[in-house]
Amino acid sequence: MLKLNFRWLAALFVSCVLFISCAANSQNIAEPPIQTQRELAKAVLAEAGIDQRYDLYLGNSIDMAMFSPEPRNLKLMAWLKSLVAKEAGWKFAETTYVTQLEANFSAPELKELLALAKQPLMKKLLQADLDAYVAAGGERRKRFFQVWDDYNYGKFDIPAEVRNDHSN
């Protein structure tokens, strides 16, 4: 009887191992490969975080539009940034970006870019870039307003070819 129970347990164990390995293998196959150049371009942009950066950079215009080197109403600024992202953000620019990648990169190049964007070291670099941009925000804001004030007070001489250009 002990031999029968041992065989039964061994068979159950083997069945469980086979079931788990089949389930794990089926999960690896489930993801369909990206086929078209457009899909590859979208995947590259998403993996590299270009969509998030676009909205972040667009939000920087709110920093500049508040006309103060030191933000006074952080809730208002946050709301305005989310409003600008919603009304003029990435979803309105994505097609232009995708078209630009399609025009400038072949499908094999896009596959290579996608593989590169998925690399941990590249992700680390892109995150460091994003963190540095955010960290430099206060200094960027102060310098922008200093340049703007200096311009308005005549500290900078406008070149004659710029001042006399009536092309617009």
Counting beta carbons within 10 angstroms of the beta carbon of residue 137, is it exposed (0 to 12), middle (13 to 18) or buried (19 or more)? middle
Task: Please name which of 137, 131, 106 lies closest in space to residue 52, comparing C-alpha atoms.
Answer: 131
**How far is residue 133's CA from residue 130's CA, in Å, rounded to a whole number?**
5
Q: How sure is the predictor about 116, in pLDDT bands with cuts at 50, 70 and 90?
A: very high
Give per-residue pLDDT as tens, 14-51: 454 445 555 555 555 555 676 899 999 999 999 999 99
pLDDT value at position 50?
Answer: 95
Please compute, for residue 141, the number of CA atoms within 13 A of its CA located in the half-sphere on the CB side. 20
pLDDT value at position 167?
Answer: 67
Bigger pLDDT: 3 vs 146:
146
Q: Give the H or E element holding residue 20.
A: helix 2-29
Give per-residue pLDDT as tens, 132-165: 998 998 898 889 889 989 999 999 998 988 888 7
Q: What is the 3-state secondary structure (H, E, C) of 84-130?
A: HHHHHCHHHHHHHHHHHHHHHCCHHHHHHHHHHHHCHHHHHHHHHHH
Average confidence (pLDDT) over 61-65: 79
Residues of the chain with pLDDT > 90, as a percent, come to: 50
Bigger pLDDT: 38 vs 73:
38
Mean pLDDT of the chain: 82
Residues of the chain with pLDDT > 70, as a percent, come to: 76
Q: How sure is the predictor about 94, in pLDDT bands with cuts at 50, 70 and 90?
A: very high
**How far is residue 122's CA from residue 135's CA, in Å, rounded to a whole number?**
20
pTM, full prediction: 0.68
